[in-house]
C-alpha cells in the first residue's frame, strides 16, 4: 500500500472510530479536552507506524489500545505529582498500586452519549458547541470545520481550545444527565445539530446557497442520536425534519445556482430515499405517544409536502393546523410568518395578509427579509402590484445572501 493510500485509510478509520475513541478516553480521564488530545496522540502514532507496519486488522482496537496506554501514563504522572504534593511522610503501602488498565476496560457503554451531552453543554457558546461537536463527534479537522463555516482556521482552533478550557474550568462532568436535566440538556444538543444542518441548508453568508457537506454531517449526527436515544420523540422529530428537508436539496437550486421555491420545485428531483427515512423517523416520534414537540411538528409539516406528488395535492389545511399547534408551543415571529403563508394557501390571501400585517405592526421581524418578501407575494396575488414591488425591493435590501437578493429583485421587476 502506498503512503498516500495508507494516509487515506487512516483518515477513513479516524472518521469511523474517532468519536467512540474520544468518548472512551474522555470517560476515563474525566475530561473531554484531554480525551481528545489522547485520541489525537493515537492518531499520530498510527500515522507514524501504519505506513511501515500496514493497517492493522482491527484498527479501532489498535487506536484504543494506544490511547489507553497514553491515558494510563498521564494518570500515573498525575498520581505521582499528587502523592508528592500530598505528604512526604505518609508511607506508601506496597502492592496498592491501582490497576489502571483494568479500570479502563470497565466501560459503561454510554460514553458516546456522554460525549454528545458534554460537547453540547449549555455552559459553552453556540458557536463553541457547534465547533466542538463537529470536531469530536464528526471527526472533522479544524481546517474542514473552518472551510465549512467560511472562517479562518485559527478562529475555529481558538474556539475549540477555549471550549475545552471552559469545560474543564467549570467542572462539567462527563456523563449523561438524568431526570429533568436530561430534557433541558437534550434541547441544547438538538439545537446544535439543527444549527449545523441549517448552516448547510440555508447558507447565511457567502455566494453559495447551500453547503451540502454540512447537511450530510448533521443528518449523520441526527441518525446517530436517534440510535442512542430511541425513547426521545424529539430526537426522532429532528432526524425526520432534517431528512425531509434534505430530500429537497437537489430541487432547491436552479440551473444558474439560484434558489427555487418549494412550490416551484421539480418534485421528481426530490430524494425519495431520504423522504422514506424521514417519514419513518416521524412515525417513530408519533408512535412514542404524547403531543408532538416543535421538531416533530415541523417534520409533520415537511411530511405534508413530501407526501404531495404535485403542489396542488398539498394538504394546506393540515399544514395550517400544524402551524397553529407550533405557534402555541414554540411561538416565534418566523413561525407566525409561516403560519400566515399556510393560512393563505388554505383559506386565501386576504386571511394571510391579515396575519402578516399583525406581524408588521409587531415590529419584532423588522430587518428580517422574509417578512416583506411574503407580504410582497400576498399583495401581488391581490393585484396590488405597486405595493408588492416596494416590499420585494425592501426584502432584497435586507437579505445577506447574494443569490436570494437577485431572486427578490427579479420579482420586484415582474
DSSP state, residue 267: G
Q: Give the nearest distance from C-beta 234 to other proteins in angstroms.
A: 17
Q: Are 302 and 265 in contact (CB under 8 A)?
A: no
State which of positions 217-246 bind other proteins (CB under 8 A): 219-224, 227-228
Establish if 16 lies at the interface with other proteins (CB under 8 A).
yes
State which of positions 30-69 bind other proteins (CB under 8 A): 59
The burial of 261, by beta-carbon neighbours within 10 Å (0-12 exposed, 13-18 middle, 19 or more buried), is given as: exposed
Nearer to other proteins, 113 or 303 (CB): 113
Measured in residues, the chain has a length of 414
Binding segment for other proteins (CB under 8 A), chosen from 24-32, 69-77, 148-156, 406-414, is 406-414
Q: Are 293 and 190 in contact (CB under 8 A)?
A: no
Q: Give the nearest distance from C-beta 134 to other proteins in angstroms.
A: 12
Helix residue ranges, H only, 288-332:
294-307, 316-329
DSSP 3-state assignment of 208? coil
Q: Which of 13, 26, 134, 398 binds other proteins (CB under 8 A)?
A: 13
Establish if 269 lies at the interface with other proteins (CB under 8 A).
yes
Rounded (5°) CA angle 209-213-214: 80
Q: Spell out, one character per residue from 141 to 180, where the chain touches other proteins: x when CB under 8 A holds, - when not.
A: ----------------------------------------
Establish if 307 lies at the interface with other proteins (CB under 8 A).
no
Establish if 90 lies at the interface with other proteins (CB under 8 A).
no
Helix residue ranges, H only, 173-309:
179-201, 212-228, 233-246, 272-287, 294-307
Binding segment for other proteins (CB under 8 A), chosen from 13-21, 89-97, 150-158, 302-310, is 13-21
Establish if 109 lies at the interface with other proteins (CB under 8 A).
no
Count of residues near other proteins by CB under 8 A: 31
Q: Report the Cα–Cα distance between both ends of the chain, in Å, rounded.
A: 60
Establish if 11 lies at the interface with other proteins (CB under 8 A).
yes
Binding segment for other proteins (CB under 8 A), chosen from 37-45, 247-255, 308-316, 336-344, is 247-255
CB 81: neighbour CB atoms within 10 A?
A: 10
Q: Which of 110, 127, 216, 286 binds other proteins (CB under 8 A)?
A: 216
CA distances 164 to 73, 111, 196, 245, Å, are 21, 17, 19, 32
By C-alpha distance, which of 413, 414, 396 is closest to 405?
A: 396
Applying CB under 8 A, the residues found at the interface with other proteins are 8-9, 11-13, 15-16, 59, 216, 219-224, 227-228, 250, 253-256, 266, 268-269, 273-274, 277, 410, 413-414
Amino acid at each position: 500500500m502506498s503512503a498516500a493510500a495508507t494516509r487515506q485509510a487512516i483518515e477513513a478509520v479516524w472518521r469511523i472510530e474517532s468519536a467512540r475513541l474520544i468518548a472512551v478516553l474522555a470517560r476515563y480521564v474525566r475530561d473531554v479536552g484531554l480525551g481528545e488530545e489522547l485520541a489525537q496522540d493515537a492518531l499520530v502514532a498510527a500515522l507514524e507506524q501504519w505506513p511501515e507496519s500496514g493497517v492493522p486488522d482491527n484498527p479501532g482496537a489498535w487506536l484504543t489500545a494506544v490511547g489507553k496506554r497514553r491515558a494510563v501514563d498521564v494518570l500515573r504522572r498525575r498520581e505521582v505529582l499528587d502523592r508528592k504534593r500530598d505528604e512526604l511522610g505518609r508511607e506508601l503501602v506496597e502492592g496498592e498500586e491501582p490497576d489502571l488498565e483494568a479500570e479502563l476496560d470497565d466501560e459503561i457503554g454510554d460514553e458516546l452519549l456522554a460525549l454528545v451531552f458534554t460537547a453540547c453543554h449549555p455552559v459553552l457558546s453556540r458557536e463553541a458547541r457547534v465547533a466542538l461537536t463537529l470536531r469530536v463527534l464528526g471527526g472533522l479537522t479544524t481546517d474542514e470545520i473552518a472551510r465549512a463555516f467560511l472562517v479562518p482556521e485559527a478562529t475555529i482552533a481558538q474556539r475549540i481550545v477555549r471550549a475545552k478550557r471552559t469545560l474543564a474550568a467549570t467542572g462539567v462532568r462527563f456523563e449523561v444527565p438524568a431526570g429533568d436535566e436530561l430534557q433541558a440538556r437534550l434541547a441544547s444538543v438538538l439545537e446544535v445539530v439543527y444549527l449545523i444542518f441549517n448552516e448547510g441548508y440555508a447558507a447565511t453568508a457567502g455566494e453559495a446557497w447551500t453547503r451540502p457537506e454540512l447537511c450530510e454531517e448533521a443528518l449523520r449526527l441526527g441518525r446517530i442520536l436517534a440510535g442512542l436515544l430511541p425513547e426521545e420523540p424529539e430526537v426522532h422529530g429532528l432526524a425526520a425534519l432534517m431528512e425531509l428537508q434534505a430530500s429537497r436539496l437537489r430541487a432547491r437550486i436552479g440551473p444558474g445556482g439560484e434558489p427555487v421555491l418549494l412550490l416551484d420545485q421539480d418534485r421528481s428531483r426530490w430524494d425519495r430515499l431520504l423522504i422514506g427515512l424521514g417519514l419513518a423517523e416521524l412515525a417513530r416520534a408519533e408512535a412514542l405517544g404524547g403531543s408532538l414537540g416543535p421538531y416533530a411538528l415541523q417534520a409533520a409539516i415537511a411530511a405534508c409536502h413530501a407526501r404531495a406528488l404535485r403542489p396542488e395535492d398539498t394538504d394546506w389545511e393540515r399544514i395550517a393546523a400544524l402551524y397553529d399547534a407550533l405557534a402555541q408551543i414554540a411561538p416565534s415571529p418566523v413561525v407566525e410568518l409561516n403560519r400566515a403563508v399556510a393560512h393563505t394557501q388554505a383559506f386565501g390571501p386576504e386571511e394571510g395578509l391579515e396575519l402578516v400585517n399583525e406581524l408588521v405592526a409587531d415590529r419584532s421581524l423588522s430587518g428580517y427579509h422574509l417578512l416583506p418578501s411574503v407580504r410582497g407575494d400576498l399583495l401581488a396575488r391581490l393585484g396590488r402590484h405597486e405595493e408588492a414591488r416596494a416590499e420585494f425591493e425592501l426584502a432584497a435590501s435586507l437579505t445577506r445572501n447574494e443569490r436570494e437578493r437577485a431572486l427578490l429583485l427579479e420579482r420586484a421587476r415582474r
